[in-house]
Chains A and B, each alone.
Chain A
């Protein structure tokens, strides 16, 4: 079988994205006819449109964030969820909102990014990362250190939310990954993500060089320390801004890059290009599914993803670890 040409894959993925976008605009908790949507007072662009915009942006951000983290660490399981980076961002966002009630959306986002950065730093130190070695050496310890950070940060964030009635109303859905139905000042994080996604394309070839080894990258004129710093900064900003909008979302950053890398082969920039429409489509689809299956109620997109993500993770694991692989050391 000849592999699909990249152009066809791009077309396929963007068509999928367009289809899901149409569904996201068409189907909601309330059933409406198409004409009512177009002319009615439901406010297509302010209601469902805004929600779809949030879902697609965050979906793309988390997918790219996972892809870059996996490339950097050489660990196909690394994603902003498992590594605790999202959880760190969530904890800082909740803490800021609770202790500084006057904080604007921008301030909450900056503190979420700071939280993501702190969690990433803790992860790097716990897993024993060495900038001179690139991502080598931390591949195995990474998920374990990440789980510890994730559990700690999420439980602390949950405690903060549950001790305060106002926080409960605002953040109980958010912590399980809900796409916001109405704008509460998400413009700043949305624009931040778009900027970071654009800048990330320039990082791809540099990061791909690092997979040849830190010294090899350096001898080809790309300092590995700079590559690592830029990649971690990108991951931190994307994850922090995403969490500020929809809360910590699991599995997307793991599964979408897995599929994208499978389609793209060794070309990181191509995988990046696939991650954007695919990640956007997956989170929008989860949101639509959550709105439709329990009408007139609603399930948060994060919960839907976690439900299907668990199954997906099992599939990834069976693919990554063929039977008997665990016996080898």
Chain B
């Protein structure tokens, strides 16, 4: 049993669109650092993140967030504790970078009041952290895919929550942008002490950057723990039906998967 977990998931069951996603899923996510959720397509990792974010209600079972039942939190309260970034954010070409990032302040604002000093500070530091300070007045339609991804991340940062949930933040980015985004997340976890939970596709990148990994398959927890424990030939076979060797990266000392097929 994990002591003092960030999320404690107890016996979660959920049916969506005629498919049983989870049937008694249990697990725990640690407080602090970077936690990665990995697994094959359709294993229920995005849905797990939606449940943790409180935007999807499970049919039964419960999620305990830092000791409190998640379902008992009002939407606005919840939004002050955790930010959630869904996969494939929509195109909003009309908006400016700063305009979109300012939406992250919604849970903290009162109706018909202009942005407060705290709001401006949070927006500024979110823009600075994502390297977008010079692009604040640019329209979203004029940005590249990597920049746009950073704007959405800045929105989540401006929400100023101790917990951030990200659904495939590196999707559609090329390798160097994937790396710089993950380095940024690592930095946010280390320097600002935020807990970041994200769904990732790439096992090797997940192993290199995350402190803790959860491997899912068919709505079941296959493996959990630090990268060295979670990524082994046995777990890769159990997760993906793939024969693979696992060896440590010569530079970072983290596990790398070498498929044998």
Residues of chain A touching chain B, judged by Cβ–Cβ distance below 8 Å, are 136, 202, 205, 209, 211-216, 218-223, 265-266
On whether A215 and B86 interact (CB within 8 A), knowing A220-B107, A220-B159, A266-B95, the answer reads yes
- From A136, A211, A218, B92 is in contact (CB under 8 Å) with A211
> Which residues of A sit under 8 angstroms from B82, Cβ to Cβ?
219
What is the chain B residue whose CB lies nearest that of A132? B56
Instruction: Tell me which residues across on chain A come within 8 A of B53, comparing CB atoms.
Output: 215, 218-219
A218 to B84 Cα, complex, angstroms: 9
A266 to B92, CA, bound (A): 9
Say whether B30 faces chain A, with CB atoms less than 8 Å apart.
no
Structural contact, A212 and B54, CB atoms closer than 8 A: no
Residues of A within 8 A of B182 (CB): none
B15: min CB distance to chain A, Å: 14
B71 to chain A, nearest CB (A): 13
A220 near B95 with CB under 8 A, answer no
Majority-rule SS of A interface residues? loop
Q: How far is the CA of A202 from the CA of B104 in the complex (A)?
A: 18
Contact across chains for A219 and B103 when beta carbons are under 8 A apart = no
CB < 8 Å neighbour of B79 from A205, A212, A219:
A219
Of the candidates A202, A209, A211, A220, the one having the most CB atoms from chain B within 10 angstroms of its own CB is A220
Top-7 shortest CB links A-B: A221-B79, A219-B84, A221-B76, A266-B94, A218-B55, A221-B107, A215-B86
Q: Which residues of A contact B165 (CB under 8 A)?
A: 219
In Å, the complex CA distance between A306 and B104 comes to 42
Q: What are 20 inter-chain pairs, A to B, with CB distance below 8 A? A: A136-B90, A205-B106, A205-B111, A209-B106, A212-B89, A212-B90, A213-B89, A215-B84, A215-B86, A216-B85, A218-B53, A218-B54, A219-B83, A220-B159, A221-B76, A221-B79, A222-B75, A223-B75, A266-B95, A266-B99
Chain B residues whose C-beta falls within 8 Å of the C-beta of A221 in the assembled complex:
75-80, 106-107
- Contact present for B103 and A220 (CB under 8 Å): yes
Beyond A222-B75, A222-B106, whether A265 also contacts B94 by CB under 8 A is: yes
Complex interface: chain A residues within 8 A of B111 (CB) = 202, 205
Bound-state CA distance A216–B85 (Å) is 7
Q: B16 — nearest CB in chain A belongs to which residue?
A: A132
Q: A215-B86, A265-B94 given as contacts; is B50 within 8 A of A220 (CB)? A: no
Complex: how many Å from CA A214 to CA B56? 11
Residue of A nearest to B161 (CB): A219
Distance in angstroms from A7 CB to nearest chain B CB is: 15
Q: How far is the CA of A213 from the CA of B87 in the complex (A)?
A: 10
Sort chain B's interface into a size bin.
20 to 34
Complex Cα gap A212–B80 (Å): 18
Select from chain B the residue with minimum beta-carbon distance to A136: B90
A215 touches B55 (CB 8 A): yes
How far is B55's CA from A198's CA once the two chains are assembled, in angstroms?
30
- Let me know if A212 and B92 touch, CB within 8 A: yes
In the bound complex, residues from chain A placing their C-beta under 8 Å from that of B86 are: 213, 215-216, 219
Query: Smallest distance from the beta carbon of B121 to chain A beta carbons, Å?
Result: 18
B179 to chain A, nearest CB (A): 26
User: Would you list which residues of chain B between 102 and 119 have a CB under 8 Å from chain A?
Assistant: 103-104, 106-107, 111
Residues of B within 8 A of A213 (CB): 86, 89-90
List, in ascending order, chain B residues with CB within 8 A of A266's CB: 92, 94-95, 99
A222 to chain B, nearest CB (A): 7
When distances are taken between beta carbons in the complex, the residues of chain B under 8 Å from A211 are 90, 92
Q: Is the CB of A220 within 8 A of B92?
A: no
Q: Are A218 and B75 in contact, CB atoms less than 8 angstroms apart?
A: yes
Give the chain A neighbours of B50 by CB distance below 8 A: 215
Name the CB-closest residue of A to B76.
A221
CA distance A202 to B112 in the complex (A): 8
Minimum C-beta distance from A226 to chain B (A): 9
The complex places the Cα of A99 from the Cα of B85 at a distance, in Å, of 54
Q: Nearest Cβ distance between residue A227 and chain B, in whole angstroms?
A: 11
Docked Cα-Cα span, A212 to B94, in Å, equals 12
CA–CA, A211 to B90, complex, Å? 8
CB distance from B252 to the nearest CB of A (A): 32
Chain A nearest CB from B100 CB (Å) reads 8
- List of B residues within 8 angstroms of A202 by Cβ: 111
Residues of A within 8 A of B104 (CB): 220
Residues in A whose Cβ lies below 8 Å from that of B85: 216, 219
CA distance A222 to B77 in the complex (A): 11
Min C-beta distance of A217 to chain B, whole Å: 9
Considering the chains assembled together, what is the distance between the CA atoms of A136 and B76 in angstroms?
23
Residue from A205, A209, A219 in contact with B55 in the complex, judged by beta carbons closer than 8 Å: A219
- How far apart are B6's CB and chain A's nearest CB, in angstroms? 16
> Chain B, 135-174, contact with A by CB distance < 8 Å: what is the 0/1 string?
0000000000000000000000001000001000000000
Residue of A nearest to B93 (CB): A266
Cα distance, A223 to B77, chains bound together (Å): 12
Minimum Cβ distance to chain A for residue B213 (Å): 23
B106 to A, closest residue via Cβ: A220
Please name all residues of chain B whose beta carbon is closer than 8 Å to the beta carbon of A218 when the two chains form the complex: 53-55, 75
Which residues of A sit under 8 angstroms from B55, Cβ to Cβ?
214-215, 218-219
B200: min CB distance to chain A, Å: 18
Expressed in whole angstroms, the Cα–Cα distance for A209 and B104 within the complex equals 10
Q: List chain B residues, Cβ under 8 A from A136.
A: 90
Measured between beta carbons, the chain A residues less than 8 angstroms from B99 are 266
Q: Hey, which chain A residues are within 8 Å of B84, CB to CB?
A: 215-216, 219
